[in-house]
A and B are shown apart, each in its own frame.
Chain A
């Protein structure tokens, strides 16, 4: 039931783009994305509820393909502040999130 994230880790130079993928073996009600910096709590980025939905948050956006049970998080023109671990979380119904293992993103100056 745990969603699978890929890649496990990414190293970028400032200004480069990244894509993080999340896939589930079950039909999904929603997909959440969170970012966690070392020693801090996860911070909510966005939630996607409908198939084919795309949302944006500054230079961070995401898509949700309901038929494929997949979501992708897009980070464009990455900034140093984007460093951290990104988690996708999936809901099969409107109850609780199950989180993936995370994708560690490191931005180099």
Chain B
């Protein structure tokens, strides 16, 4: 069990560019979650998958955000046409039943 892995750890991008993040969950976990966290705040729910099915997407989430989890394994989160307000830590978590195991996150800075 190597835990939840996220790549890249840091991403600096220019406003308007597209970015993609990857999350590799714990292999036996069927649920995968994406959260966003800004300084001094709790993690904000973005979307989650059960196996390969995306079951819920936050209503606060812009159409510029899309996530996939092909074959119920790793997941990708893409942000199109990035804006400065997208700057945050993007956290991935996985679970089987009960508590979540979080990855170390991808810190996105939009300049």
Contacts and interface: CB of A to CB of B under 8 A. Distances in A.
B98 A47 contact: yes
B27 to A, nearest CB: 18
Contact of A98 (B40, B45, B98, B105): B45
Contact of A44 (B33, B40, B100, B104): B100
A89 B105 CA distance: 18
Nearest to A8: B40
A86 B33 CA distance: 20
Nearest to A30: B98
A32 B43 CA distance: 13
Interface of A: 2, 32, 34, 40-44, 46-47, 87, 89, 95-102
Given A96-B45, A99-B44, 7 more contacts: A2-B42, A42-B91, A42-B100, A47-B99, A96-B48, A97-B33, A99-B45
